[in-house]
Amino acid sequence: MHIRKRVMVTGGAGFLGSHLCERLLDEGYDVLCVDNYYTGSKRNIAHLLGNPYFELCRHDITFPLYVEVDEIYNLACPASPIHYQNDPVQTTKVNVHGSINMLGLAKRIKAKILQASTSEVYGDPTVHPQPESYHGNVNCIGPRSCYDEGKRCAETLFFDYFRQHNLKIKVARIFNTYGPRMHLNDGRVVSNFIAQALQGKPLTIFGDGTQTRSFCYADDLVEGLIRLMQSPDDVTGPINLGKPDEFKILELAEKVIELTNSSSEIIFKPLPADDPQQRRPDITLAGKVLGWEPKIKLAEGLKKTIAYFEEVLRAL
């Protein structure tokens, strides 16, 4: 008889977490989704509730959790500036206390644990593109620090548990990811532009639009996370996961207007503090160690995301 591997996904009702839960179920895992719905939503995983191998637990990981699983994907944390700056102390707590709680659980039950880290650990980079060896250029007292430094501290904790307790760890540094189930009002550039274009509102660009980002579609990113979790134990990361194609923010705005057939205009506003000018992953390591590279082109991913947002806006 085939025994299903039990996997816990914290932040499993969030944008990326829900895609990961779905994929793990498709791959034959028994999935425990843990979320406190701070930014996650039951709507994201409602279609999974009838699956006998899917379990939902409402819990805040800044408090200990006692469960038995084989693997833990730690994705719990608000990831957009609007949400993580809304309660910065709680953002730091979920990264530090939450990581300690999940690492303690993994140590006790001898589970393998993956941390969803972020490209934000590189801050406003002075090296381009960013390889994993780059230590970053981060302001530790700015409005984004709760997230940037919180995630950096989480990485520290993961590697200290690895060295001190021989824990099986994996650390993924996730670059800009987009796709269906993004929050309508999360303030991220893809969701902002699509929502504005579909509602005939002006598309707001902060700065002059020459700053660049790289956009990875959710399905590609989830594939990278699963490959990292399944990689040999000596592959700890950190490993960059993202799409190296670089786009100017202005180019993205024009693409969204074209794909939504919108008559929206583009307006410019001042750039927020510590907003990085360039963000592009060097994914050489992911290619070499995981055999991973993103496949979905921006236009294809945007079309799927636009279709999702049309549905959400119709339901409002």
| Residues annotated as catalytic (active site), given as ranges | 147
The 10 Å CB-count burial string (b at 16+, else e) for 181-206 is bbbeebebbbbbbbbbbbeeeebebe
Could you tell me which residues come within 8 angstroms of residue 252 by beta carbon, excluding any fewer than 6 positions away? 189, 190, 193, 213, 215
Give counts: helices (H), strands (E), the chain.
10, 13
The structure tokens listed for 115 are: 């941390």
Q: Are 239 and 232 in contact (CB under 8 A)?
A: no
Nearest in space to 126 (alpha carbons), one of 109, 108, 141, 138: 138
- The beta-strand segments (E) located in 175-231 are 177-178, 203-206, 212-214, 216-217
State the Cα–Cα distance between residues 95 and 166, nearest whole angstrom. Answer: 21
Phi, then psi, of 53 in degrees rounded to 5: -100, 10
State the Cα–Cα distance between residues 117 and 308, nearest whole angstrom. Answer: 26
Q: Are 69 and 6 in contact (CB under 8 A)?
A: yes
Torsion angle in degrees (nearest 10) through CA of 96, 101, 103, 109: 180
